Structure 1
Amino acid sequence: MIQGFKKFIMRGNVIDLAVAVVVGAAFTAIVNSIVEGILNPLIASMFSADTLAQSLVVDLSGKNDLLFGKVLAAGINFLLVAAVVYFVFVLPINKFKEAQARRDQPADVSPADQPPTELELLTQIRDLMAAGSDHESKHTA
């Protein structure tokens, strides 16, 4: 039982997962500070409210309140977080990878110089096998 646990802990994917959680927490702090420190105050100022969550409240005769502003704020917050993650992290990294791929590819390589793809090779093998079986069937007949 202990050996199995040791194998589980020493697997690379467990370490990778732990690193991903730690890095994710660091990114969460950055994204949340951008959204809460910059974007949310801008949006709240458009609604003339301290916070969007405190606006759009419907009073139900003293019992409970319907907090439409809180739901709206959560939806906007989600969209803002997604936008920050995309525009601050994903888009620049994708552009960097594209530039690196262009830089790593030799400029003088034309599509004719590149080796055939796996699909092209399989098509050639199929055609050769079909031609070979046609050739054999003509000799046996």
Structure 2
Amino acid sequence: MSNNHQPGVWEGFKAFIMRGNVIDLAVAVVIGAAFTNIVNSVVKGIINPLVGAVGTKNLDSYSSCLEGPCENAKGIHLMWGSVLGASLQFLITAAVVYFLMVLPMAKFLARQADRQKAKEGTKEVLEVTELEVLKEIRNELIAQRGQGHRQY
């Protein structure tokens, strides 16, 4: 192998690392990991006790016996309680993320967009109004010239 290939690989790797997408992805992963702790705390500290007040906090013990005697690890157990628990955990987490992050951020961005449109709309109105004023001045000057020429 020649040494000419290694600098090319190094330069390619350096270009890959310096791309904005890689940095954005790294930041997103770090923020996502930190946000996971917040979501889990909300779910474990608030949502699960509320669900536990209505039913049970731990669904892992619920199962059904598919075949044979299911005592002492014999037979075929269907552990549907753990599947239900994981599904509920997912739905609760998705709801917390949606209502605490996605929905408020969407409303904030919509308000920002409305403000930007209002600023642009005001600017256009001012420009149109200014243009109209200039047209009126032009028409007035033409009318004055016309009247002045008729008097002579």
TM range (shorter): 0.5 to 0.7
Establish whether residue 83 from structure 1 lines up as the match of residue 95 from structure 2: yes
User: Pick from 96, 113, 137: which aligns with 2:108?
Assistant: 96
Contact 1:44 1:50 in 2 (8 A): yes
User: Pick from 16, 27, 41: which aligns with 1:8?
Assistant: 16
TM (normalized to structure 2)?
A: 0.63
User: Pick from 24, 32, 35: which aligns with 1:27?
Assistant: 35
Give the structure 2 partner of residue 120 of structure 1.
none
Give the structure 1 partner of residue 81 of structure 2.
69
Q: Deviations over 1:44-99 (max 9, x none)?
A: 2322x341223x22255222532211111111111111111110000001111111
How far apart are the structure 2 equivalents of 1:30 and 1:108? 38
Give the structure 2 partner of residue 52 of structure 1.
59
Task: Select the structure that is richer in helix.
Answer: 2
What is the alpha-carbon root mean square deviation over aligned residues? 2.3
Contact 2:59 2:82 in 1 (8 A): yes
Percent identity of equivalent pairs: 51
The structure with the larger Rg is 2
Segments of 4+ in structure 1 off by > 4 A?
Answer: none
Q: Deviations over 1:80-128 (max 9, x none)?
A: 1111111000000111111122222237938x96xxxxxxxxxxxxxxx
Gaps of 5+ in 2: 1-8, 126-152
Aligned AA for 1:88? L
TM (normalized to structure 1)?
A: 0.67
Relative to structure 1, the CA distance from residue 2 to residue 107 in structure 2 (aligned partners, 3 Å threshold; closer, same or farther) is closer
Contact 1:57 1:67 in 2 (8 A): yes
Where 1:105 maps in the other structure, the secondary structure is helix
